[in-house]
Copies of this chain bind each other. A is one copy, B any other.
Amino acid sequence: MSSARTDIEAVEAANTALYEAVERGDLEALSALWLEEGEAGESPAAAGPTDTADTTDTADTESTDGAGSHGGVSVVHPGWPVLTGRGEVLHSYALIMANTEYVQFFLTDTEISVLGDTALVSCTENILSGGPAEEDGSAGPLVGGLVVATNVFRRTGENEWKLWSHHGSPVLVERDDEDDEDGEDETDLGQGDIDI
């Protein structure tokens, strides 16, 4: 149990490091947190990144009748399509950082599940962000946001936890058991009027 506790603490630290790198706009630190090809230790009988190098471009082709296999990492930012591969993933963060003057994440509801060399993290990102400065030089407007994220980490051969996938999405439906004092309307998602 002690090693399991250590794993969870290590995964939580890696998860926190992701958001701190975005807060600092530190693309180099962010890059080091994402899994690289061949870094993910064992997988003798499975399709690891190095096994599928010849099919990494299937993301750009239409594949309605068969699955492609990509070389590892993927990201979904809130409202964005899926981006796969380190190139697309890091480029997307560079764009976000370039367009964000100020951002701070307060993580809540962090839940971690570790199975073998994979860790599944879910958390709520309470985001405070600011746009570019106004023309008169004053600070841009600060806006709050609520995003839920599923982050998948993989243990490397060096016993470090690296990001395999990040998926963030906006929260539109409120839970019944939470306070309803922020005045936001519930949004119908086209799946019936579901209160959860």
Contacts and interface: CB of A to CB of B under 8 A. Distances in A.
A49 interface: yes
Contacts of A5: 47
Interface residues of A, number: 93
A4 B51 contact: yes
B169 A120 contact: no
Contacts of A115: 40, 43, 46, 48-49, 117-118, 154, 164
Given A68-B112, A132-B192, A150-B150, A82 B143 contact: no
A81 B153 CA distance: 21
Contact of A170 (B63, B145, B169): B169
Give the interface SS of chain A, mostly helix, strand, loop or mixed: mixed
Interface in A95-136: 95-96, 98-100, 106-118, 120-124, 129, 131-132
A63 B110 contact: yes
22 contacts: A1-B51, A7-B47, A8-B69, A11-B67, A40-B115, A47-B114, A48-B114, A52-B113, A68-B110, A72-B113, A74-B111, A74-B122, A76-B122, A76-B169, A78-B189, A79-B171, A79-B172, A80-B196, A82-B124, A118-B154, A129-B191, A168-B169
